[in-house]
Chain A
Amino acid sequence: MAMSCLETIQAYGLRSLGYGERLLPRDDFTLCQHFTLIGSGLIWNVYFGVLALLFGFFLANALALAKAAHSPWLRKPAEWFIFVFRGSPLFIQFFLAYELLVLLPKAGINVLGITIDTSWTTRAWAGALFVLFLNTAAYSAEIFHGALKSVPKGDVEAADAYGITGWSRFRRILWPTMLRLGWPAYTNEAIFLFHATTLVFFSGFPAFQQRGDALYYANYFADKTFNPFIPYPIVGFYFICLTLLLIWVFGLINRRLNRHLPSNLRGRIRLRPQLIR
């Protein structure tokens, strides 16, 4: 009863989300099954990567500004936050976060008579996303902070000369320039964040109903076939594709950020890791 590849894709294409065949393949492993299931797991890597990046971007901006602030009440907490998250391995952050989250009362927290359910926080989709969000925010904040410090003095002086001040000076002069300068390094951060998502099920959060990411399924196959040379390179292949896609998307944004510059000055995106994980 060998399944055709199309049937395999129908059965396992969305397995990582809990749809399709409930039991994972147990014998007669085919290459098609490898590619389908590992590809299915990649959905989670994309989910973690995209959402953490999206939320992290906003927090990173706030943190970068706080770190550049004069008031120590803003600056110190931001500096500490960035130091702790950049200074420790993500893997330990996952572990400690998980340990903290399981301490929340299972029955839920009672706030003003309304019971808030807490059990979902230990699930990877929420807990790991939260850690990745904080982690990438810290790394990106450092990048943006560095970029903010290197905004050309002339730009700011020109803004002053035109009478552009306060919020509008920030929004129209400082912030776009900061993004433009920090963008190549931010692209690297994005790549590394996507790579870091493979740690979620590997050493952080438990896999629920055998729903995991690309590495989880690769591990499953390596475990069943006792052959690591097929599943792990497949994960590598998927990630190279993902990285290329990411570089392309960030390149497009980079072009837009630099569109006002004369074409010979427009720096092509240079993948020089300024600040990477």
Chain B
Amino acid sequence: MKKMMLATAVLALTAGASLAQDVVRIGTEGAYEPYNYIDQATGELTGYEIELGNELCKRAELKCEFVQNAWDSIIPNLQSGNYDLIMAGMSITDERDQVIDFTQNYIPPASSAYVALSADVNVGEGAVVAAQTGTIQAGYVAESGATLLEFATPDETVAAVRNGEADAVFADKDYLAPIAADSNGELVVLANEVQLGGGVGIGLRETDTELKDKLNVAIQSMKDDGTLNTMIKKWFGEEAQTF
């Protein structure tokens, strides 16, 4: 019965001795492969950020658990104190930096890419480009002169290209590349990549400076000993950008 009540999928990982220590709760979306997603076989949260989050917590000697939250309300719920960190493939942008704080990035400034049905599709003026609502990519398309077609979830944006609703989809290249690779040539990644944002970092409340310092140290230690790069390659492939 308890299992049934467990509506929120939770991955708990204890680090060190489990005293009656505060649990640091990490909010994630759970729908952005390979950053964070639901493992198809077990039904539990998995992905680069889950593995990284657990490792960082171990190094910072924190007790952490992941909670899933819809992308729409992921920042208001952080500010309301429903969890303490966000690890959801969230790019560091000025807009977000005004209301929340970020640690140093744990993914280098990533390329955003267009995916379309053929390589010579126009994505500028006059084109219809799909993007997920509320992402930096959506903001970019709105300003690029192309017609923005917004969907609530990332898969719908890809589906829109497949069914011809949109000429192209614009999203993180790391998200699109495996989908294109899997499509038997139906979908292609266009050559014009765009650099947006300052990489992906952990989002936290502006007042949580102590937590921020701890995590910054942990991220730095992973950058220094090369484990971060190994982890990036494990999840994003050999060609992925590393530090």
Please report A residues at the B interface, Cβ cutoff 8 Å. Answer: 23-24, 26-27, 102-103, 106, 122, 202-203, 206-210, 219, 222-228
B121 contacts the other chain (CB 8 A): no
Is there contact, CB below 8 Å, between A23 and B134? no
B156 closest partner in A (C-beta):
A206
Partner of A223, one of B72, B100, B148, B164: B72
- Indicate whether A226 sits within 8 Å of B99 (C-beta atoms), given known contacts A122-B165, A206-B130: yes
- Whole-angstrom distance between the alpha carbons of A208 and B129 in the complex? 10
- Whole-angstrom distance between the alpha carbons of A46 and B79 in the complex? 34
B160 contacts the other chain (CB 8 A): yes
- Whole-angstrom distance between the alpha carbons of A227 and B148 in the complex? 24
Is there contact, CB below 8 Å, between A228 and B95? no
Can you name 25 A-B residue pairings with CB atoms under 8 Å?
Answer: A23-B143, A26-B95, A26-B139, A102-B163, A102-B165, A103-B163, A203-B152, A206-B149, A206-B150, A206-B151, A207-B133, A207-B149, A208-B148, A209-B148, A210-B142, A210-B148, A210-B150, A219-B133, A223-B72, A223-B134, A226-B79, A226-B99, A226-B100, A228-B73, A228-B76
Please, what's the 1-or-0 string for B76-100, where 1 marks a CB less than 8 Å from any CB in chain A? Answer: 1001000000000000000110011
A208-B148, A210-B148 known; 6 new pairs, CB 8 Å cut-off, are A26-B95, A102-B165, A222-B76, A223-B72, A226-B76, A228-B76
- Whole-angstrom distance between the alpha carbons of A60 and B93 in the complex? 51
A102 closest partner in B (C-beta):
B163
Interface residue range, chain B: 20 to 34
Is there contact, CB below 8 Å, between A206 and B147? no
Could you say which residues of chain A place their CB within 8 Å of the CB of B99? 225-226
Could you say which residues of chain A place their CB within 8 Å of the CB of B156? 206
- Whole-angstrom distance between the alpha carbons of A228 and B134 in the complex? 14
Please report B residues at the A interface, Cβ cutoff 8 Å. Answer: 72-73, 75-76, 79, 95-96, 99-100, 130, 133-134, 139, 142-143, 147-152, 156, 160, 163-165
- Indicate whether A226 sits within 8 Å of B152 (C-beta atoms), given known contacts A23-B142, A209-B147: no
Lowest 10 CB-CB distances: which A-B pairs, in order? Answer: A102-B163, A223-B134, A226-B75, A106-B164, A207-B150, A226-B99, A206-B149, A209-B147, A206-B151, A228-B76
B130 closest partner in A (C-beta):
A206
Could you say which residues of chain B place their CB within 8 Å of the CB of A207? 133, 148-150
A208 closest partner in B (C-beta):
B149
- Whole-angstrom distance between the alpha carbons of A207 and B156 in the complex? 12
Is there contact, CB below 8 Å, between A227 and B76? yes
Could you say which residues of chain A place their CB within 8 Å of the CB of B143? 23
Could you say which residues of chain A place their CB within 8 Å of the CB of B139? 26
Is there contact, CB below 8 Å, between A24 and B165? no
Is there contact, CB below 8 Å, between A206 and B73? no
Could you say which residues of chain B place their CB within 8 Å of the CB of A206? 130, 149-151, 156, 160, 165
- Whole-angstrom distance between the alpha carbons of A223 and B133 in the complex? 9
Could you say which residues of chain B place their CB within 8 Å of the CB of A210? 142, 148, 150
Could you say which residues of chain A place their CB within 8 Å of the CB of B100? 226
- Whole-angstrom distance between the alpha carbons of A207 and B143 in the complex? 16
- Whole-angstrom distance between the alpha carbons of A248 and B152 in the complex? 36
- Indicate whether A208 sits within 8 Å of B147 (C-beta atoms), given known contacts A122-B165, A203-B152: yes
Could you say which residues of chain B place their CB within 8 Å of the CB of A203? 152
- Whole-angstrom distance between the alpha carbons of A203 and B72 in the complex? 12
- Whole-angstrom distance between the alpha carbons of A26 and B95 in the complex? 9
A123 closest partner in B (C-beta):
B165
- Whole-angstrom distance between the alpha carbons of A102 and B149 in the complex? 15
Could you say which residues of chain B place their CB within 8 Å of the CB of A23? 142-143
B151 closest partner in A (C-beta):
A206
A212 closest partner in B (C-beta):
B150
Could you say which residues of chain A place their CB within 8 Å of the CB of B160? 206
